Structure 1
Amino acid sequence: FKGRTLAPRGGNSQGHVTSHMVRSALNVIGEKAEKADLPLFRQALASPYFTMSERDFEVFGKYGEWSDIPNIARASRSSGGSLLIPDVVVPVEVVARAILKIAGRRTREVLELELPDVVRRAMLKLLSKAAFSGLPDTALFRLFNETSDDVRRTAAIRAARDLSRRRCVQILDIYNTQATYYYNVMHWLDLAVSMPRALVDTVTFSHLSED
């Protein structure tokens, strides 16, 4: 199997049967996958015949490379693209987690990639406090000016929760002087600088826990 291409041959019926067989084989390989197996999972990711599983993304998270990130993020088939396995659904958090593991300490760089908004929002929610608070102000302002309301709002909530009050004050002072700013960002930064820490923690936890 490892020496063959994963692309099914023949008509649709034969192709789907073959894809089911290959999907089963990848499930077995995924149990004890090694870096040498990564090309097989890349072929599956690129093929229109396969539905990706959570374990596939775990393999990418462990062995994947920077160049894999855009393809992983675009894996819309993670929501179930196989005619034979239509109910397989991989949460976007699984995809985001794989990307963050590949990125390692390159947090700022991975957040600046042109990835689907739903994936970037999930990445922001999954970032550790140290990783988020370690972002430079330039990266934070970039997030606060995102056109995606979901990405922008999630970044602002993380800032309110994870940045020090002093840093939030400094950022807010600069942000509200911009020619263009967003009220949802102002709202969360203002909450962080004006409300007791315990209340901020409770409110931000509640909103970040929302689907």
Structure 2
Amino acid sequence: MAKFGNWSDIDRIKKLGDYVSDRSHILSLRTTKMPVQKAKAILAIGATRIADVLDVDLEMATRRAIAYHVPKKSIADLGDEVLLRELSRDDDKYRVIFGIRCVLSLPKSRVSALLKRYVNRDAHRYYNSIHWLDLGASIPQALARIVAQRELQRYDEYI
């Protein structure tokens, strides 16, 4: 898929692993939904369209895996409106992963500007998004990235 797939294959990728195994036998195997594999395939297909990838309707485990694995440059290339939208998604763990990835991917000045826009807007704001943006804006960038990288590793179990 990554080499020859195209945008229309994303719907097929989303369905991978979603079938239910035959549970009538004691030795039946339970299938997983493969969120990391789905995320990596979707990212490979949508490598030049990350904003569109983030706009696709996805199950949350796959969305978290995409946020976890999206390249730093791709996050840095996203517009502020896309970043703000992602920092406002309903899922707590997703917001933490995405906030951490912002700290790891964006220059300190952009994290500061993003924090200011996030807290000054009229829309609903989430504490965990503010927490990670504030960490990235408030302490030296090298230290913020060390803390963020350590914390990100704790979230691989949620994807």
- Counterpart CA distance in 1 for 2:28 and 2:2 is 23
Kindly provide the CA deviation profile for residues 161-192 of structure 1, in whole angstroms up to 9, marking residues without a partner as x: 11111111111111111232111011001101
Say yes or no: does 1:143 pair with 2:86: yes
Deviations 1:11-34 (A, max 9, x none): xxxxxxxxxxxxxxxxxxxxxxxx
97, 101, 107: which one pairs with 2:50? 107
Q: Which residue of 2 aligns with 1:120?
A: 63
Q: Does 1:61 align with 2:8?
A: no
Shift in Å, 1:89: 4.7
The answer to whether residue 105 in structure 2 is matched with residue 162 in structure 1 is: yes
> Cα–Cα, structure 1 residues 81 and 62, in superposed 2: closer, same or farther, change >3 Å?
farther
The one-letter code sitting in structure 1 at the alignment partner of 2:135 is: L
Distance in structure 1 (CA, Å) of the matches to 2:108 and 2:127: 19
SS in 2 for 1:61: coil
* Displacement after TM superposition at 1:87 (Å): 5.5
Name the CA distance, whole Å, in 1 between partners of 2:36 and 2:111.
27
CA distance in 2: counterparts of 1:154 and 1:87, whole angstroms: 27
**Alignment check: 8 A CA contact 1:74 1:115 kept:** no
Q: Secondary structure at the match of 2:121?
A: coil
Secondary structure, in 3 states, of the residue corresponding to 1:176?
A: helix
Which amino acid counterpart does residue 4 of structure 2 have in structure 1? Y
Deviation per CA, 1:131-187: give whole Å up to 9, x if none: 111111111011011112222221111111111111111111111112321110110
Match of 1:190 among 121, 134, 143: 134
Q: Which amino acid aligns with 1:201?
A: R
Contact 2:118 2:125 in 1 (8 A): yes
Q: Is this contact kept in 2: 1:61–1:101, CA < 8 A?
A: yes
RMSD, aligned α-carbons: 1.9
Runs of 4+ with >3 A deviation: 80-85, 87-91
| C-alpha separation in 1, matches of 2:12 and 2:92 | 24
Give the Å deviation of 1:88: 5.7
Q: TM-score, normalized by length of structure 1? A: 0.65
Specify the alignment match of 1:202 in structure 2.
Answer: 146
| Contact 2:104–2:148 under 8 Å retained in 1 | yes
- The residue that corresponds to 1:174 in the other structure is 117
Paired residues for 1:30-69 under 5 Å: 60-69=1-10
Q: Deviations over 1:71-100 (max 9, x none)?
A: 3123343xx744487256574211110111
Matched residue SS, 2:3: helix
Unaligned runs of 5+ in 2: none
Identical columns (%): 32
- State the distance in 2 between where 1:208 and 1:74 align: 27
Say which structure, 1 or 2, has more relative contact order (CA 8 Å, 6+ apart).
2
